Amino acid sequence: MRVLLVGSGGREHALAWKIAQSPKLTKLFCAPGNAGIAEHAECVDISSDDIEGLLKFAIEQAIDLTVVGPEAPLVAGLYDQFNARGLKVFGPSAKMALLEGSKSFSKDVMSRFGVPTAAYEVFTNAKEAMQYTLETEMPIVIKADGLAAGKGVVICDTSEQAVSTLSKMMEQKVFGPAGNKVVIEKKIEGEELSILVLTDGETILPLASARDHKRAYDHDRGPNTGGMGAYSPSAQFDESMIGSIIDQTIRPVIDGLRKEGSPYRGVLYAGLMMTADGPYVLEYNCRFGDPETEVILPRLKTDLLPVLAEIADGKLCQKSLEWHEKACMTVVMASGGYPGSYQKGLSIHGIPAAKAIRDVVVFHAGTALNEKKEVVTSGGRVLAVTALGGNLRAAYDLAYQAIQHIHFEGGFFRRDIGRKAMEVLK
């Protein structure tokens, strides 16, 4: 099977690493890829948002399956354009990708199909939104409606903070057109959990649970990021509960959309809050999570490629997935200044020493090769240092042992990924 993987981050490196292990693979391309992905695939210089360029390449190379990593090409209609030319794609249509591409669309879908979620209001007028925050009870969560690279969600504890946030989103356009519309919702309390499922629009295959860490600094301080680390399985989550959680938060949407004539196919990621009243959905994503993918796929025994191909065909025959019993942890090493501005092109040292440790994989999230063929930084999140262990503590120790070998100017990482979970397990 000739496969084109679209994307260039840590999630895509984890997908490339897993797909490359499949005996059904004959050739793997990645557009545009990164320095780590180049170890598993032939990287081609086509941007992930250049849908016409990707389509032309897929036709010329007789690609059997295109696997889309990031959300933006899906929201922009990659599936629709490829499907119109008879090419198979793992990922949803543009309409269904709005579950991630539009917070208001997603909340309306949840409401329509009876999925538990926080009470919300939608605004397109900044002054009306500001007035609402002055009259509503705090704390609240303000979300830019469109795609904002995982940074368009702000928790506000005071009305002053809410007004400032709305001004930045809706008037100053810090997230561009993504902030033309906002969703304001009540903040709910509990433990966060990520659930990912594979689906052909009817059959649902759950992936292993994972727990992400969004804040930039230790003890959940600092700004929200795309994710500074994760572990799997989630210590706050009893795996025996997964069926019930899916029945409440995912199945109603999958079944409802199919009955409306718009089946959702691909991976559906549900960001949940486990409250005293049960699971509430914070958000849906239309792609594999990042960095959740980096801790889920190393635990997967089943060959992933034929499962992705069956979903692209619209008929998922695989009825279950096999998992390693080991725990997995990933620690993200980021560029100084992230999630704000940061420097690129900095030399990275020590990756081979980290990779030489047994049960350690270093996934590249924001790297490139310079003219000397040296690995350098090219993004905010640079590496996801991942380790498998007999339990969460063993995975933690191994991941942090490995990351000590890696250095680049200004690089930083959180030192407490999974710490709360280990306290729970004690």
Write the pLDDT tens digit of every residue in 28-59: 999 999 999 999 999 999 999 999 999 999 99
Could you give the 3-state DSSP secondary structure of residue 236?
coil
Could you give the 3-state DSSP secondary structure of residue 316?
coil
Please determine, for residue 100, whether its predicted confidence score (pLDDT) is greater than 90: yes
Would you tell me how many other CB atoms lie within 10 Å of the CB of residue 144?
26
Write the pLDDT tens digit of every residue in 288-316: 999 999 999 999 999 999 999 999 999 99
Interatomic CA distance for residues 362 and 288, integer angstroms = 18
Q: What is the mean pLDDT of residues 154-170?
A: 96
Domains defined along the chain, listed by start: 2-93 (3.40.50.20), 125-180 (3.30.1490.20), 191-313 (3.30.470.20), 327-425 (3.90.600.10)
Q: Taking the model in full, what pTM does it have? A: 0.94
Interatomic CA distance for residues 382 and 88, integer angstroms = 31
Rg of the chain (C-alpha set): 21
Q: Which residues pair with 4 in a beta bridge?
A: 29, 66
Interatomic CA distance for residues 104 and 279, integer angstroms = 20
Write the pLDDT tens digit of every residue in 319-334: 899 999 999 999 999 9
pLDDT of residue 194: 83
In terms of DSSP bridges, do strands 367-369 and 375-377 run parallel, antiparallel, or are they unpaired?
Answer: antiparallel
Interatomic CA distance for residues 51 and 85, integer angstroms = 13
Task: Classify residue 7 by its DSSP letter.
Answer: E
Retrieve residue 257's tokens: 């959309």
Q: What is the mean pLDDT of residues 380-389?
A: 98
Please determine, for residue 426, whether its predicted confidence score (pLDDT) is greater than 80: no
Count Cβ neighbours within 10 Å for each residue of 8-41 and write b for 16 or more, e otherwise: bbbbbbbbbbbbbebeebeebbbbbbbbbbbebb
pLDDT of residue 150: 72
Q: What is the mean pLDDT of residues 421-425?
A: 77
Q: What is the mean pLDDT of residues 274-288?
A: 95
Cα–Cα nearest to 77, from 101, 55, 95: 95
